Amino acid sequence: MIKTLISIGLWGVLGWALGAWLGAGIGWATFSFGLILMILVSGMQLSRISRWVKDIEAPPPPSVGPWDEILAPIYRKLRHNRQEIDALDEHVNGIMLAAEALPDGAITLDQAMQLTWCNQTASEHVGLNLESDRNHSIFNILRAPEFARYARQTEWPAPILLHLNTDGQDRALLVQLTRYGLDQYLVVTRDVTQMEKLETTRKDFVANVSHELRTPLTVLSGFLETLRDMPEGSLSSEQKQHYQALMLEQAQRMQAIVADLLTLSTLESSPNTEGEPVQVAQLVQTALAQGRILSNDQHIFVENVDENLCVIGVETELASAVSNLLTNAIRYTPKDGTITVSWYITEAGQACYSVQDTGIGIASQDIPRLTERFYRVDRGRSRATGGTGLGLAITKHVAMRHNAELTIHSRFGAGSLFSVIFPPSRVARID
């Protein structure tokens, strides 16, 4: 303002001086010219400002006369606000990224329980699409009557377990509802399908162990009660021996089950160790010596063993895998059958232990289940030959701990081929 007055004053003084020298007309003309010039300059400055207002993010135009003092603080304030907005944006983005990275699903709902936002995990858990489901009621998205009942409670102290089928996949979800802010809601979903499966396996396992031990225990206590209730001297010594042999058989069966369970539990709980070179040929010889006793000369044994081939691993574990496969071949191959034991290196540099028999074979639908604990194709035959139903579960575990693979090829009635194939990284040689 002062600058403008000074300019008008200066033009007035110039007009007055020229008027005094060259005449009043020239003086007024100069003064008028000065005022018009000032108006024109001011108009140009205003038009530059109005252009800047349209692109307010850019710095204000330079040298706009008296407007400089007004524009500078406005621009400073604008820049400060913009920096704050950027920082806030970054913060919000960070929170959104963190919410996306959550291993749990997160869904936000408004007062009417309509979807406002969800992360990717929640989309997968519940099968929703943020774009098309936004502003739709959660009850139309999560169509489970248990959830509707749960959501209509006033408090949600604990989560609810839902079984959903999303995109053709069965899922067990723990769903927790929480109120936040001004009557808004957060739904957290956690996939517990795997945990539920493990829990079922654990329960089945405990039930199986109890069942397996109950049978021999019942037989054993039955015999003991009979012996207790028999009058003194009513049993001949042969009968006594017969009873004792039967009781011993049941006790040995329980012992075998407990021993295999302990082996499994040791395999599961002990850390994986690299081990050292193990001469598998020697393990095969020991297993064959025991196998011949079990076979009682009823089978033909063929050996095809590379004496110098070793595998890096744990000897006790490998010994149990080697003998389990051989014992099974003997137990499930009728008299005069042939059992071929091989230990060799493949063209791909893997070490392979295989046992082939000409025995009863296995139907294709049973093969995938053989390594399950206590799974037996023929329960009676397994028991009669002293099986525990845990041998292949142990063998598979040993294979896994040695980065090896247990493969089973079999045809019902036409014999089987069980192989444990070790990767080249586990192979060693002795000369």
Task: State the residues that interact with ligand ADP by CB under 6 A.
Answer: 324, 328-329, 332, 357, 359-360, 362, 370, 376-378, 382, 387-393, 416
The overall longest dimension of the chain from CA atoms, in Å, is 164
Residue with tokens 């014992």: 327
Tokens linked to 48: 């530059």
Residue 266 beta carbon to ligand ADP: minimum distance, rounded to whole angstroms: 17
305 SS3 class: strand
> Rounded distance, CA 201 to CA 209, Å?
12
Do residues 216 and 252 lie in contact, with contact meaning Cβ atoms separated by under 8 Å? Answer: no
Residue 327 beta carbon to ligand ADP: minimum distance, rounded to whole angstroms: 8
Residue 364 beta carbon to ligand ADP: minimum distance, rounded to whole angstroms: 13
Q: Looking at 280-393, which runs of residues are DSSP E strands?
A: 300-305, 309-313, 338-345, 351-357
Residue 145 beta carbon to ligand ADP: minimum distance, rounded to whole angstroms: 43
DSSP assignment of 163-232, as one string? EEEETTEEEEEEEEEEEETTTEEEEEEEE-HHHHHHHHHHHHHHHHHHHHHHHHHHHHHHHHHHHHHSPT
327 SS3 class: helix
CB nearer to ligand ADP: give 48 or 383: 383
Do residues 261 and 209 lie in contact, with contact meaning Cβ atoms separated by under 8 Å? Answer: yes
Residue with tokens 């869904």: 107
CB nearer to ligand ADP: give 216 or 389: 389
Tokens linked to 183: 């009557």
CB nearer to ligand ADP: give 15 or 361: 361
CB nearer to ligand ADP: give 164 or 393: 393
Residue 423 beta carbon to ligand ADP: minimum distance, rounded to whole angstroms: 24
> Rounded distance, CA 338 to CA 318, Å?
23
CB nearer to ligand ADP: give 110 or 378: 378
Do residues 184 and 111 lie in contact, with contact meaning Cβ atoms separated by under 8 Å? Answer: yes
Residue 397 beta carbon to ligand ADP: minimum distance, rounded to whole angstroms: 11
CB nearer to ligand ADP: give 15 or 389: 389
CB nearer to ligand ADP: give 138 or 261: 261
CB nearer to ligand ADP: give 174 or 417: 417
Residue 262 beta carbon to ligand ADP: minimum distance, rounded to whole angstroms: 15
Residue 292 beta carbon to ligand ADP: minimum distance, rounded to whole angstroms: 17
Do residues 399 and 339 lie in contact, with contact meaning Cβ atoms separated by under 8 Å? Answer: no
Residue with tokens 């076979």: 295
Nearest partner of 353 among 421, 415, 282, judged by Cα = 421
CB nearer to ligand ADP: give 31 or 332: 332
Tokens linked to 281: 């040929």
Residue 357 identity (one-letter amino acid): D
CB nearer to ligand ADP: give 288 or 392: 392
> Rounded distance, CA 253 to CA 256, Å?
5
Show the CA angle centred on residue 381, arms to residues 379 and 384, nearest 5°: 105
Residue 297 beta carbon to ligand ADP: minimum distance, rounded to whole angstroms: 19
Residue 307 beta carbon to ligand ADP: minimum distance, rounded to whole angstroms: 25
